[in-house]
Amino acid sequence: MAFFAEVQPWGFILFGRNVETPDQVRALVASLRAAIDRADAPVLIDQEGGRVQRLGPPHWRRYPPGRAYGTLRGNDPLLAREVTRLGARLIAHDLAALGINVDCLPVLDVPAPGGHPVIGDRAYGDTPEEVAVLGRAACEGLIAGGVLPVLKHIPGHGRARTDSHLELPVVGASRDDLAVHDFLPFRALSDMPMAMTAHVIYPALDQKRPATTSRRVIDTVVRDAIGFQGLLMSDDLAMKALDGDMGQRARSARRAGCDVVLHCDGNIADMTAVAVGAGPLRGQGQRRAEAALARLARQPEPFDVEAGRARFDAAFEGRWAA
């Protein structure tokens, strides 16, 4: 905690290694905020459902992957939208009870033939339109429950043929094809408060740099073509898609236009290098951060949790019951 008190990070992210019981997580969240003396500090988690769910049994419910929502009862679009919102509202209820106020959801990546399964069933559907509709439903459910969503992975990871956790993907699609397919869900949800970059090179946009460290991609695509003006964070700097040491990665992402950088491996030497490389949050980035947190609901919408769980379980015929 002394490290956090010294470097004053904007926020924190939790992983499975940080999670034991509800009481333990609540105490951890409170101690992190106390360390930087900011009761409003964002605490993030990846709670998508399916393969990416940091909180799970026996203390928390399992949730389905994004694709499961899109295939409910013969692809009924109204049912899919309703249950997607409900699932996110239930997740928000779980998170808010622990003091966690940001979920790295929804995944807005649109799969493409030959794409690596790192996205796979995390995607809500196979078309940009399906992904956009259900992505918005998920955002609405989270916000209603007092949790902010993070769009990922802007401007789109679905075509990548390799896993950016392990190596740097290169997506060779033309800018026109990217615009009508990959960018569409992000444009449709560009009013949301936060988004996370893709560690992917798009030669049609920038031949040398992945989106995370490309000023050209962030300025001309993320901010202009897509129109996203919220807080932009990098994906995890410790992923093998990026080169350079952690300090260099942090500097490159910030210089490219990321407002904040995400670092997740827990290595104190790397954490120190990232803090130095990233520098302070100020100026436009600070204003975007404040605007994002201002989107937090002061009071979650009224919600009958037991009725919501019963409806959710009925929609999935008990397949994802706790």
Is 153 an annotated catalytic residue? Answer: no
- Catalytic entry in 40, 76, 165, 191: 165
CB atoms within 10 A of CB 310: 12
Beta carbons of 182 and 132 less than 8 angstroms apart: no
- For the chain, the structural domain boundaries read 2-295
User: Tell me, what's the pLDDT at 296?
Assistant: 95
Sequence letter at residue 225? A
Report helix, strand or coil for 127: coil
pLDDT by position in tens, the chain (length 322): 889 999 999 999 999 999 999 999 999 999 999 999 999 899 999 999 999 999 999 999 999 999 999 998 777 889 999 999 999 999 999 999 999 999 999 999 999 988 898 999 999 999 999 999 999 999 999 999 999 999 999 999 999 989 899 899 999 999 999 999 999 999 999 999 999 999 999 999 999 999 999 999 999 999 999 999 999 999 999 999 999 999 999 999 999 999 999 999 989 999 999 999 999 999 999 999 999 999 998 899 999 999 999 999 999 987 876 6
- Catalytic entry in 109, 235, 236, 259: 235
C-alpha dist (Å) from residue 272 to 11, 239, 256, 260: 15, 17, 21, 15
Is 94 an annotated catalytic residue? Answer: no
C-alpha dist (Å) from residue 213 to 96, 216, 258, 268: 33, 9, 8, 23
Q: Is 2-295 in CATH node 3.20.20.300?
A: yes
